[in-house]
Amino acid sequence: MKNLVRIACLMLVFVMVCVVFVGCNQTEETDNLVIYNWADYIYDYEDDFKAYYRQMTGKNVEITYVTFDTNETMLTKITKGDSNVDVICPSEYAIQQLMEKDLLVPLNYANEAEFTKGINFVDGANYQHNYSKLDANVINKINDAFGAVTNKITGKTEAMLDYMVPYMYGTLGILYNRYAFIDAGIISVNEDGSYDATAMNQANWGVLFNDNGKGELLSDSLTNSILMKDSIRDSYAATVFYLLESGVLDELVVENTSSEYYGKPYSEIPAGVLINMVDENLIEACKVALSQQKQELFGYEVDFGKDDLLVGNAIVDLAWSGDALYAFEESWNDDLNDGEGDYELAYYVPHTTGNIWFDGWVVPKGYNPKNLDAIKLFINFMNNPYSSAANMYAIGYTSAVDPNAIMADQDALGYLAEGYAVYGYATDDDGNLLPVDKCDFANIEEFNDYFFYMVDPVDNSNWRYPFMFADEENSNFPRNINTLGVMRDFGDKNKDVVVMWNYVRSAAVSSWQLLLWTVVVVGVTIGVIALIRVIILKRRKNVIINK
């Protein structure tokens, strides 16, 4: 009997161990995803995406998020194979380079069946493909600018949008201190409170060169108060636009015999084509203009232009739209506008010509095939209206998702309304709705007018959504989206532009500036040597005394 009890107990223990063992081997499966993106270029998405991924696949996903600071840094790592990443977010010209080097795999996002093929759904019935939510204007502009790209390895020519899924976009323009411009006479205020920006609209890109559009000084106030973006491509584009407006290009003709524009003045070439031309005489003209510009500059910047404008070090800066919108919203000053408060900074997109750019998700050939479900679902997730709204709120740039899709989505619109303190949406730290006098917008209609439809009173353009009013001739300087060009990769000529830029940034210094810096360096050096000698003498004296 005792043996039977003992055997029964052993069997029970064995069964329990088996149950535990089986349970341990039935842990939930976890997939992985490695994202390579710009720093500060996405909202706090991780919990939302993990919940979405679990709903779609029944699996967990672990995310590794790696950042880069420039397209060039990213290109170097991907080209050399130094980064094992699954999905990247480059700019369009960098995507062109990656396609030419045969370093990307096609996504075919426009084809839902092709894109989702192979994904192991457990809730496929609730999957919503978000390609149709992309702004058609964005799709068309990328197609117009790049069309098909030729793979230099295979010789195949394929559409960029078969490889790229648009994410965010923005424009290049001028961030300026509105009240400083009023004091300088560059803009004025009419009796009815409206703005007269005739002088600024005549200057256009000349504002950055303190040129009134006629080769004359725009304002003494701008001298030593202009910031230029420390970016080769952006500065090149702005300078080409300025040269076109100022008439310099009327006298220069294309000397490249292989160009379809051979023999024609540069001024007859469409702006979208012109900013992608890197002929020797055009580069030289940019070098001259940028060298002359240096006497008007406060300096070059990448991230701190807003701060310099707010503290008064400078009053104008070459800027990207997302940074400019962030700066604008941070520049509220209660003391302005006769004590009623106003935004001190504003963003100006010149009406004659301009640059619009696009960033998008791509998949490198070095991706981990095991992570393909996570890659595709992440890309699709980023194009739902809620994620798009959250991204715009977090980083300031414009989502490639159609604004009408965002306005029609109550969760997306509610997220923005709460963040922007709209009455009926905004809450305090305890979750209670804020009273109307504590909110920035009295209702959702007022907020929509601001966020989606806001047209700047000075230049009659929509900063966030330049497509929305592209064809409305609501001023003497109508916006037309065709005036906004997209910059392609410069290819082998990129090194010539780099050489020009390096000359401007360093060698193109006037003699008196060079003499001044020489005197400063010599003075500091002499001072340091003298200080070291004093310290050495004191130590020797102390040693002698102690002896």
Q: Are 237 and 278 in contact (CB under 8 A)?
A: no
d(CA 17, CA 33): 35
Pairing of strands 165-177, 398-399: antiparallel
Q: Is there a contact between 448 and 190 (Cβ–Cβ < 8 Å)? A: no
Q: How far is CA 540 from the centre of its chain?
A: 58
Note the pTM of the prediction, 2 decimals: 0.85
Round to whole Å and give the CA distance between 30 and 14. Answer: 29
**Continuous H helices in 215-369:** 232-246, 271-274, 280-293, 305-311, 321-330
Write down the domain spans for the chain: 30-163+359-382, 170-351+473-507, 510-541
170-351+473-507 topology per CATH? D-Maltodextrin-Binding Protein; domain 2 (3.40.190)
Q: Is the dihedral of CA 268, 271, 276, 280 positive or negative?
A: positive
* pLDDT tens digits in sequence order for the chain, 547 residues long: 444 445 544 454 444 444 344 444 434 689 999 999 999 999 999 999 999 999 999 999 999 999 999 999 999 999 998 779 999 999 999 999 999 999 999 999 999 999 999 999 999 899 999 999 999 999 999 999 998 999 999 999 999 999 999 999 999 999 999 999 999 999 999 988 888 989 998 999 999 999 999 999 999 999 999 999 999 999 999 999 999 999 999 989 999 888 899 999 999 998 889 999 999 999 999 999 999 999 999 999 987 788 899 888 999 999 999 999 889 989 999 999 888 899 999 999 887 789 999 999 999 999 999 999 999 999 999 999 999 999 999 999 999 999 999 999 999 999 999 999 999 999 999 999 999 999 999 999 999 999 998 887 777 778 888 887 655 455 444 556 677 899 999 999 999 999 999 999 986 444 344 444 444 444 555 655 555 565 554 554 444 444 4
CB atoms within 10 A of CB 196: 12
Residue whose entry in the numeric block shows the structure tokens 């750019």: 357
- Integer Cα distance of 28 and 24 in angstroms: 10
Domain 30-163+359-382 -> CATH class: alpha beta
Q: Given this model, what pLDDT does residue 364 score? A: 97
* Shared fold status for 30-163+359-382 and 170-351+473-507: yes
Amino acid at 189: V
CA atoms within 13 A on the CB side of 328: 22
CA distance 467 to 479: 9
Beta bridge partners of 203: none
The sign of the dihedral angle between the CA atoms of 287, 289, 292, 295 is negative
- Output the CA–CA distances (angstroms, integers) from residue 305 to 182, 287, 314, 350, in the order listed: 20, 23, 8, 19
DSSP E strands, 79-131: 87-88, 104-105
Between CA 198 and CA 183 the distance in angstroms is 15
Q: What does the block give as tokens for 4?
A: 């039977």
Is 363 exposed, middle or buried, given 0-12, 13-18 or 19+ CB atoms closer than 10 A? buried
